[in-house]
């Protein structure tokens, strides 16, 4: 059983990931923004983190940078529904700045479980 942190401001997205992971037998902690997510990250040991990009209080890119400073090894999966600035894709940016992998929304169960299995195995 692994401990997974989900940081996303969308209740139903958190619920979806949470239910899928619980069904896989993992323990889940949820945070609704980057600031809360970072506090959980510092407080507890996690095996995997899912982090959304566009969030209130503290957005995902800076959250990923700060979490990566705290811990170099935990796999962090950046998620986004496809927003862009002028020339940069948020997910590409997140990957460059510390995310281990990206998961574009919308994803289905197969894609979600595949990411979880891949990165938990690598972490183990």
Partner 1 sequence: MSEADLLRRRLDRERRARAEAERLLEEKSLELYEAKTEVEKSLERVQRREALIKSVLDNVLDGVITFDANGTIRVFSGAASRIFGLHPDEVVGGPIGTLIPEFDLADKASPFAAVVNGNEFNELALGGYETTAIRKDGEEFAAEAAVTQFNLMGVQTIVVTVRDVSRQKHDSAVRHELESQLRHLQKMESLGTLAGGVAHEFNNMLVPIITLTELTQEELDEGSLEHENLGHVLGAAARARSLIAKVLTFSRKNDPSIEEVRLSDVVQTSASLLENTIPSTTRLDIEVPRPEMIIHGDRTELEQIILNLVGNGSAALNGEEGWVKLSFETHFVRNRSRENRMGLPEGEFILLTVEDNGSGMDDETADRIFDPFFTTKSVGQGTGLGLAIVHSIVERSQGLIDLRTAPGEGTTFRIFLPAPSEQENRAQDDDMQASEAA
Q: Which residues bind partner 1 (CB under 8 A)?
A: 10, 12-13, 15-17, 19-20, 23, 54, 80-89, 104-109, 112
Query: The tokens of 113 are what?
Result: 């479980």
Q: Closer CB to partner 1, residue 24 or residue 68?
A: 24
Shortest Cβ 30–partner 1 spacing (Å): 14
Shortest Cβ 84–partner 1 spacing (Å): 6
Dihedral sign from CA coordinates of 72, 25, 35, 80? positive
Tell me the three state secondary structure of residue 107: coil
Q: Closer CB to partner 1, residue 27 or residue 66?
A: 27
Q: Closer CB to partner 1, residue 13 or residue 99?
A: 13
Tell me the three state secondary structure of residue 124: coil
Shortest Cβ 21–partner 1 spacing (Å): 11
Q: Closer CB to partner 1, residue 66 or residue 89?
A: 89
Strand order in the sheet with 76-80: 27-31, 3-7, 48-52, 76-80, 101-104
d(CA 47, CA 15): 19
Shortest Cβ 3–partner 1 spacing (Å): 21
């Amino acid at each position: 059983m692994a401990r997974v942190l989900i940081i996303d401001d969308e209740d139903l997205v958190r619920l979806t990931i949470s239910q899928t992971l619980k069904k896989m037998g993992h323990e889940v902690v949820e945070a609704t923004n980057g600031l809360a997510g970072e506090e959980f990250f510092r407080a507890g040991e996690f095996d995997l983190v899912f982090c959304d990009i566009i969030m209130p209080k503290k957005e995902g890119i800076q959250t990923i940078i700060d979490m990566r400073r705290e811990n170099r090894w935990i796999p962090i999966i950046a998620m986004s529904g496809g927003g862009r600035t002028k020339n940069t894709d948020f997910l590409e940016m997140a990957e460059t700045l510390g995310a281990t992998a990206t998961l574009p929304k919308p994803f289905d169960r197969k894609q979600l479980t595949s990411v979880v299995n891949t990165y938990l195995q690598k972490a183990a």
